[in-house]
C-alpha cells in the first residue's frame, strides 16, 4: 500500500481547514441569522465575519462618521426595531427599540460581556465596575454607591472650580484673544480633575509625572486590541507573547500602572491607619480614602473587598471620566461656535443666574436650564456612549417579542435611537429648545434618551460629568466669545469612546 505524498497531505489539510472556515464563518452564521427572519421590524445584513462593522468603517472613510448610513437608514425607516448581522461565528443583534432596550436592561443577568472581544482589555479595567459581572458587580456597585452620592459630588465642586480656573490660567492667560487646541487641553482638564478627586491634595507625584501616568493609563485602556483581527481569530494570549513591539510596550506599561495603583493604595491605607476617622474630617476625604473606609465597613459585615478590586475602581473611573467628558465639552464648543444665537442666549442665561464674576455654586448651576438643554442635545447627537458593550446570551432570553438565542450577542444602539424621527423631530438638527419644550416623545422616555445608559448599569458618574462640563462652559462663555478655526468638520470614530478624532482649534475672544 502506497502512502500519500506530502503534497497530497498538505492539500487535504488545506481543503479541510477551508471547508471548516467556510462552515464556521459563512454557513452556520447564515443559518443562525435565519432564526430571526420572522421578527417584525428586523433589518438583516448578511456580511460574513464582521457584519455591520464593514459599513461603519466605510462610512468613516467616506463621510467622516461611523453612523452616516445607519442614521440615513433609520430616518428612511423609523420602524426598524433591531438589526441582525453575523459577527465571526455568531449573530449580533443591535436593539433600536426603547421597549426592547428596557427589557434588555431588566435582564442583563442573563447575558455576559462578549468573552472574545473584551478579553485583551487591561486586567485592571476588566475587574472594575464596567466589566465585572454577577455578584462581583453587585458588590462593587454597592461599595461605590456608598461613596458616589449627592453629598460627595457637591463636595467636589471646589475641586472642579479650582481645576477649571487652573485650565483657564494655563491656556487662556487672560489675553484678549487666544487659540487653544481644544481636544488636547480639555483632556488635561478632565483627567486632572478626576485625578485630584481621587488623590486629594497629596503632592506625592510631580506635575510632569502625573501627566505621563495619565497618558499611559489612557493609552493602555485603548480598545484597539479588542477589535484587532489577531484577537478575534487567535485570542488574547497572542498578545502576551510580545511578538510585536506595540504588545511588549503595552505589557510593560500595564505592569507599571498596576504597580503605581498599588503604591497609591498602600500609601492611603497607611495614612488612614495613622488617623482616627471622625465626622469632622469625613468630607475632606478623597475617593480612595472613602472607598477604603467603606470597604472596611463591608468587611465588618462579612463581605470581602480586596485591594485589587479597589485599584480596579481607581483605574476604571480615571479612564471612564476623562475622554467622555472631554468629548462632551469639545462638541459643545463646536455647537456654540456654529450656532452663535445659541451662544448668545446661553450667555444671557449665565449673566442672569451666575453673573460676570463670582463663585459657581451648585444652586446657581441648577438654574441654568438652557445650558442643561445644550449639553443634553450635544449628548443626543454625539454622546460618547453610542452603544452598550455587546453581551452574549448564556441562555435563550425573551425580550418582548424577540427571542435572543443562546450564544448570540446583543447591544443597545443608543446613537440610532437618538436619531429616530419617531422619538425626536428633525433628529439631525441641533435644537436645545426641544429639552425646554418637552414635546418630543423621546424627551419624556428614559429608554429613548440614554446617553449614560439606563437601568441598574446607568453610569454612576453622570452627575459628576455634568458638573465638570457645566462649570467649564460657564467660565468660558462668561469671559469669551467662542469660535473655532475653519474649515472644520467633525470626524466621529471609535477611540476609548465614540468621539471626534480631528484636532479642533478654539478661538476665544475676550468679552
pLDDT at 205: 57
Q: Could you tell me if residue 3 is inside a domain?
A: no
pLDDT of residue 139: 79
State residue 192's pLDDT score.
86
Residue, of 166 and 139, whose pLDDT is higher: 166
User: What whole-number distance in Å separates Cα of residue 511 and Cα of residue 508?
Assistant: 9
DSSP label of 165: H
Q: Is residue 108 part of a domain?
A: yes
Of the listed ranges 151-155, 297-301, 332-336, 368-372, the least confidently predicted one is 297-301
Q: Centre a 10 Å sphere on the Cβ of residue 272 and count the other Cβ atoms it contains.
A: 16
CA distances (Å), 438 to each of 64, 80, 140, 211, 318, in order?
31, 24, 36, 42, 34
Least confident of 49-53, 303-307, 348-352, 371-375: 303-307
pLDDT mean over 371-392? 94
Q: Is residue 17 part of a domain?
A: no
- At what angle are helices 134-145 and 307-320 packed, to 10 degrees? 70
End-to-end CA separation in angstroms for the chain = 95
pLDDT at residue 239, as a whole number: 81
Which of 21-30, 144-153, 212-221 is the most confident on average? 21-30
Cα radius of gyration rounded to whole Å, the chain: 25
Mean pLDDT, to the nearest integer, of 319-326? Answer: 85
Closest by CA position to 478, among listed 432, 433, 510: 510
Q: Are 288 and 198 in contact (CB under 8 A)?
A: yes
Judged by DSSP in three states, 303 sits in coil
| More confident of the two residues 225 and 338 | 338
Flag whether pLDDT at 281 surpasses 90.
no
Comparing 282-291, 321-330, 402-411, 434-443, the range with the smallest average pLDDT is 282-291
Identify the band that residue 280 occupies on the pLDDT scale cut at 50, 70 and 90: very low
**Residue 24 domain-assigned?**
no
How confident is the model at residue 509, as a pLDDT? Answer: 96
Q: What is the pLDDT of residues 58-81, one digit of tens each?
A: 999 999 999 999 999 999 999 999
Residue 279 pLDDT grade (very low, low, confident, very high; cuts 50, 70, 90): very low
Instruction: Note the pLDDT of residue 507.
Output: 96
Query: Minimum mean pLDDT among 202-216, 396-410, 415-429: which range?
Result: 202-216
Q: What is the pLDDT of residue 349?
A: 97
The Cα angle at residue 252 between residues 249 and 258, in degrees rounded to 5: 135
What's residue 50's pLDDT? 87
Range(s) of the domain holding residue 351: 35-510
> Is 186 inside a domain boundary?
yes
Is the bond preceding residue 487 a cis peptide, omega within 30 degrees?
Answer: yes
Number of domains in the chain: 1
Residue 144 near residue 450, CB atoms below 8 Å: no
Per-residue pLDDT for 57 more than 80? yes
| Top-ranked range on mean pLDDT: pick from 103-107, 152-156, 266-270 | 103-107
Q: Is 500 within a domain? A: yes
Per-residue pLDDT, averaged over 412-434, amounts to 96
What integer best gives the mean pLDDT of the chain?
A: 87
Instruction: Give the mean model confidence (pLDDT) for residues 169-175.
Output: 87
Q: Give the separation between CA 40 and CA 79, rounded to whole angstroms.
A: 9
Task: Answer whether residue 298 shows pLDDT above 80.
Answer: no
Residues 304-308, mean pLDDT to the nearest whole number: 76
Q: In terms of pLDDT, which residue wins out, 303 or 459?
A: 459
C-alpha distances out from residue 309 to 75, 132, 302, 305, 457, Å: 44, 10, 16, 7, 18
Residue-level pLDDT at 497: 83
Q: According to DSSP H, which parts of 146-244 are helical?
A: 150-155, 157-171, 182-199, 207-220, 224-227, 229-234, 237-240
Q: Which three cell numbers stand for residue 393?
A: 446570551
Cell representation of residue 129: 465596575
Between 36 and 199, the higher pLDDT residue: 36
Say if residues 44 and 85 touch (Cβ distance below 8 Å).
yes
The least confident of 72-76, 288-292, 464-468 is 288-292
Instruction: Tell me what pLDDT residue 276 has.
Output: 63
Grid cell in block for residue 325: 467628558
Instruction: Report pLDDT for 301.
Output: 67
- CATH number, domain of 301, equals 1.10.630.10
CA distances from 217 to 254, 257, 264, 333 (A): 8, 7, 14, 26
41-50, 118-127, 253-262, 439-448: range with lowest mean pLDDT? 118-127
Once rounded to an integer, what is the mean pLDDT over residues 328-334? 96
More confidently predicted of 487 and 323: 487
- 169 found inside a domain: yes
Amino acid at each position: 500500500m502506497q502512502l500519500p505524498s506530502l503534497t497530497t497531505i498538505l492539500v487535504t489539510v488545506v481543503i479541510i481547514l477551508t471547508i471548516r472556515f467556510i462552515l464556521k464563518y459563512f454557513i452556520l452564521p447564515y443559518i443562525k441569522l435565519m432564526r430571526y427572519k420572522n421578527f417584525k421590524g428586523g433589518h438583516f445584513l448578511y456580511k460574513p465575519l464582521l457584519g455591520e462593522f464593514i459599513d461603519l468603517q466605510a462610512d468613516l472613510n467616506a463621510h467622516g462618521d461611523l453612523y452616516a448610513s445607519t442614521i440615513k437608514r433609520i430616518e428612511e425607516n423609523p420602524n426598524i426595531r433591531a438589526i441582525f448581522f453575523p459577527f465571526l461565528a455568531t449573530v449580533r443583534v443591535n436593539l433600536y427599540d426603547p421597549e426592547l432596550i428596557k427589557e434588555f436592561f431588566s435582564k442583563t443577568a442573563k447575558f455576559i460581556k462578549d468573552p472574545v472581544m473584551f478579553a485583551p482589555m487591561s486586567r485592571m479595567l476588566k475587574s472594575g465596575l464596567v466589566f465585572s459581572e454577577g455578584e462581583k458587580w453587585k458588590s462593587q456597585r454597592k461599595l461605590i454607591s456608598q461613596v458616589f452620592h449627592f453629598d460627595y459630588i457637591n463636595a467636589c465642586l471646589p475641586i472642579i472650580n479650582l481645576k477649571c480656573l487652573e485650565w483657564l490660567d494655563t491656556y487662556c492667560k487672560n489675553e484678549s484673544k487666544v487659540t487653544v487646541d481644544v481636544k488636547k487641553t480639555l483632556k488635561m482638564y478632565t483627567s486632572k480633575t478626576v485625578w485630584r478627586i481621587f488623590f486629594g491634595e497629596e503632592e506625592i507625584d510631580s506635575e510632569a509625572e502625573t501627566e505621563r501616568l495619565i497618558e499611559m493609563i489612557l493609552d493602555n485602556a485603548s480598545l484597539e486590541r479588542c477589535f484587532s483581527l489577531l484577537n478575534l481569530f487567535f485570542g488574547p494570549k497572542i498578545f502576551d507573547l510580545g511578538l510585536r513591539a506595540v504588545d511588549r510596550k503595552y505589557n510593560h506599561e500595564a505592569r507599571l500602572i498596576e504597580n503605581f495603583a498599588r503604591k497609591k493604595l498602600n500609601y492611603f491605607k497607611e495614612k488612614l491607619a495613622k488617623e482616627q476617622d471622625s465626622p469632622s474630617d469625613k468630607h475632606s476625604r478623597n475617593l480612595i480614602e472613602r472607598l477604603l473606609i467603606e470597604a472596611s465597613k463591608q468587611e465588618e459585615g462579612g463581605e470581602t473587598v480586596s485591594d485589587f478590586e479597589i485599584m480596579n475602581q481607581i483605574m476604571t473611573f480615571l479612564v471612564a471620566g476623562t475622554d467622555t467628558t472631554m468629548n462632551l465639552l469639545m462638541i459643545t464648543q463646536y455647537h456654540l461656535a456654529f450656532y452663535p444665537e445659541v451662544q448668545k442666549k446661553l450667555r444671557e442665561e449665565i449673566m442672569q443666574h451666575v453673573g460676570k464674576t463670582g463663585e459657581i455654586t451648585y444652586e446657581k448651576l441648577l438654574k441654568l436650564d438652557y445650558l442643561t438643554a445644550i449639553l443634553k442635545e450635544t449628548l443626543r447627537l454625539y454622546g460618547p456612549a453610542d452603544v452598550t458593550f455587546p453581551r452574549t446570551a448564556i441562555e435563550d432570553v425573551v425580550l418582548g417579542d424577540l427571542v435572543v438565542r443562546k450564544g448570540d450577542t446583543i447591544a443597545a444602539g443608543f446613537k440610532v435611537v437618538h436619531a429616530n424621527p419617531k422619538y425626536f423631530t428633525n433628529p439631525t438638527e441641533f435644537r436645545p429648545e426641544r429639552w425646554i419644550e418637552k414635546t418630543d416623545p423621546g424627551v419624556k422616555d428614559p429608554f429613548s434618551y440614554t446617553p449614560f445608559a439606563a437601568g441598574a448599569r446607568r453610569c454612576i458618574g453622570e452627575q459628576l460629568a455634568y458638573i465638570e462640563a457645566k462649570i467649564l462652559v460657564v467660565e468660558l462663555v462668561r469671559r469669551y466669545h467662542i469660535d473655532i478655526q475653519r474649515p472644520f468638520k467633525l470626524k466621529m470614530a471609535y477611540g476609548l469612546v465614540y468621539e471626534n478624532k480631528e484636532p479642533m482649534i478654539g478661538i476665544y475672544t475676550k468679552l
